[in-house]
Amino acid sequence: MGAVVVAFTHDETSLADPDDARQVERGKSVYGQHCASCHGARLEGQANWKQKLSNGRMPGPPHDASGHTWHHPDTVLFGITKHGLVPGKYAPPGYQSDMPAYANTLTDEEIWAVLAYIKSSWPPDIRETQRKIDSRRGR
């Protein structure tokens, strides 16, 4: 079973634009450097990503349409990337994750660019569904 996002609000407004070719290209580069080792070079995630590892933690999920990334608003995805998978905020209380916080590694612009890159890979129906989720974020 994967992590469940329990909070859907965050201070930032979405700045990830999957139609902005420059932002997507920048995001692809940043993703390759910082994210691909856990989430796959093609956004495919780790093998058996729905099954716990021997340490009780979950493998890195895919960010393509087969995963659950698109089930969450951009501001939650931004927060998870910047601050890590914080229990009680972005995951159930007590949840342990290998997802690091990138607040001291990536700029906000780089995080938004990674999200734009990820979103650019989704088919139109998934992008539209996620856009609706994003527009309702916590309201």
- Domains of the chain (ranges; CATH) run 21-136 (1.10.760.10)
Listed residue (39, 10, 12) closest to 27, CA to CA: 39
Q: For residue 99, what pLDDT band results from cuts at 50, 70 and 90?
A: very high
Task: Mean pLDDT check: name the lowest of 5-9, 29-33, 59-63.
Answer: 5-9
* Better-predicted residue by pLDDT, 70 or 134: 70
With a cut of 60, say whether residue 11 has pLDDT above it: no
pLDDT of residue 136: 83
At residue 33, what are phi and psi to the nearest 5 degrees?
-75, -40
With a cut of 60, say whether residue 12 has pLDDT above it: no
Task: Mean pLDDT check: name the lowest of 4-13, 31-40, 52-61, 126-135.
Answer: 4-13
pLDDT of residue 14: 79
Distance CA 105, CA 82 (A): 9
pTM of the model: 0.87
With a cut of 60, say whether residue 125 has pLDDT above it: yes
With a cut of 60, say whether residue 100 has pLDDT above it: yes
With a cut of 50, say whether residue 69 has pLDDT above it: yes
| Residue positions counted in the chain | 139
Q: How many CB atoms lie within 10 A of CB 13?
A: 9
Half-sphere exposure of 137 (CA within 13 A, CB side): 22
With a cut of 60, say whether residue 34 has pLDDT above it: yes
Tell me the pLDDT tens digit for each residue of 81-98. 999 999 999 999 999 899
